[in-house]
């Protein structure tokens, strides 16, 4: 472990693989309970790691504004075994669920973060992995935030033990991971389609069903640039919000696209800030999410 003020770098042995991560602690810890933890998962970037999201998003500044600890884990080979069966990590049998569980435990043991109400946020491949972790580790994850990534169809029969609130953000003009769902661009050895993901609407409905939300249409807020529908009243006070970004591409709202990317990006809101705003009251309440 290496510590530089509020930033700690750690490494864990998971199944014989050395897995690294960085944790940014808030400069002022909140009162009245343990510090909430946000896991931020990068997309599929060969040679990339948690530093991609730390540089690209505003989560470091959100840590201080909302009193949160933020962990930036490194995928294996720059990607995650998200359950679609199409990434190199999936094909290698990497156990990313075990790794991310261990990061939650490690941070709780050493820095007093909450071990049972983490937030997992991700983009693209990281969003798919966020869905997988929320399903497999719902006893540790209280809030899921997926940007540009619907639920992998292969995971649709998984039943978590706890309800998980979900914030789902998707660009209507996303060509890499269409808002209507579809298959991965990475085809099988024989050219077969694989890695199907659900649409934004189907993903929201699936999480509403898991959380036992009432069969109500929810509240919809429409602006010139986006539409957000929120369904409340799920088990343990959980809620599900589906946010459509009009004209938005495969991008992270509020932050310019990385060099070499030309996807349209909305500046109407900052996804990192909105994720924290959505999650903060949900993780501050007593945990009664057991299904």
Q: What is the CATH number of the domain that holds 97?
A: 3.40.50.1820
Q: Within a domain: residue 271?
A: yes
Assess whether pLDDT exceeds 80 at residue 5.
no
Q: Is the predicted pLDDT of residue 187 greater than 90, yes or no?
A: no
Q: pLDDT tens digit string along 7-36?
A: 999 999 999 999 999 999 998 876 667 899
How many CB atoms are closer than 10 A to CB 6? Answer: 14
Q: Which of 74-78, 186-190, 209-213 comes out lowest in average pLDDT? A: 186-190
Output the 3-class SS for 226-280.
EEEEEECCCHHHCCEEEEEECCCCCCCCCCCCCCCCCCCCCCCCCHHHHHHHHHH
User: pLDDT category, 4, cuts 50, 70, 90?
Assistant: low
- Distances from the Cα of 196 to the Cαs of 11, 183, 232, in angstroms? 32, 4, 28
Strands 37-41 and 69-73: parallel
Q: Which residue has the tokens 């298959």?
A: 183
In a domain, 291, yes or no: no
What is the per-residue pLDDT across 239-269, written as a single tens digit (0 to 9) for each? 999 999 999 999 999 998 777 778 899 999 9
With a cut of 70, say whether residue 164 has pLDDT above it: yes
φ/ψ region of 67 (left if φ > 0, alpha if ψ in -120 to 50, else beta) reads left
Q: Which two tokens stand for residue 93?
A: 């049998």
The structural domain count of the chain equals 1
Q: What is the pLDDT of residues 91-135, one digit of tens each?
A: 999 999 999 999 999 999 999 999 999 999 999 999 999 999 999
pLDDT at position 6 is 86
Amino acid 1: pLDDT: 52
Q: Is residue 265 part of a domain?
A: yes
Q: For the segment 190-232, what is each residue's pLDDT rounded down to a tens digit?
A: 888 999 999 999 999 999 999 999 998 899 999 999 999 999 9
pLDDT higher than 60, residue 3:
no
Is 289 part of any domain? no
pLDDT reported for residue 185: 87
Q: How many residues does the chain have?
A: 291
Asked if residue 206 belongs to a domain, the reply is yes
Beta strands in 52-181 (DSSP E): 69-73, 118-123, 141-147, 165-171
Cα torsion 195, 45, 280, 4: sign: positive
Calpha distance 199→150 (Å, rounded): 6
Query: What whole-number distance in Å separates Cα of residue 218 and Cα of residue 207?
Result: 14
Give the HSE-up count for residue 203: Cα atoms under 13 Å, Cβ half-sphere.
Answer: 39
> Which range marks the domain in which residue 52 is found?
2-284
What backbone torsions phi and psi does residue 171 show, to the nearest 5 degrees? -80, 135
Residue 52: pLDDT above 80?
yes
% of the chain exceeding 70 in pLDDT: 97
Quick check: is 79 in a domain?
yes
């Amino acid at each position: 472990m290496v510590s530089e003020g509020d930033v700690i770098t750690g490494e864990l042995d998971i199944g014989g693989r050395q897995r690294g991560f960085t944790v940014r602690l808030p400069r002022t810890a909140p009162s009245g309970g343990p510090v909430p933890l946000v896991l931020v998962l990068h997309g599929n970037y060969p040679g990339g790691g948690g530093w991609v999201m730390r540089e690209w998003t505003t989560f470091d500044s959100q840590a201080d504004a909302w009193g949160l600890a933020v962990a930036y884990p490194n995928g294996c080979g720059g990607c995650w075994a998200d359950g679609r069966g199409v990434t190199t990590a999936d094909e290698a049998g990497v156990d990313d669920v075990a790794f991310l569980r261990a990061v939650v435990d490690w941070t709780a043991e050493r820095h007093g973060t909450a071990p049972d109400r983490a937030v997992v946020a991700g983009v693209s491949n990281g969003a798919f992995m966020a869905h997988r972790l929320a399903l497999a580790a719902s006893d540790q994850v209280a809030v899921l935030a997926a940007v540009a990534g619907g639920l992998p169809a292969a995971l649709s029969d998984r039943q978590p033990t706890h309800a998980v609130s979900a914030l789902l953000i998707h660009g209507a003009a996303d060509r890499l991971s269409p808002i209507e769902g579809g298959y991965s661009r990475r085809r099988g050895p024989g050219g077969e389609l694989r890695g199907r993901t659900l649409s934004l609407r189907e993903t929201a409905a699936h999480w509403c069903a898991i959380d036992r939300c009432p069969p109500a249409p929810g509240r919809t807020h429409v602006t010139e640039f986006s539409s957000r529908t929120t369904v409340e009243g799920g088990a343990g006070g959980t809620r599900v919000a589906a946010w459509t970004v009009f004209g938005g591409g495969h991008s992270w709202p509020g932050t310019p696209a990385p060099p070499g990317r030309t996807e349209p990006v909305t500046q109407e809101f900052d996804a990192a800030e909105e994720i924290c705003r959505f999650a903060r009251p949900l993780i501050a309440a007593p945990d009664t999410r057991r299904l």
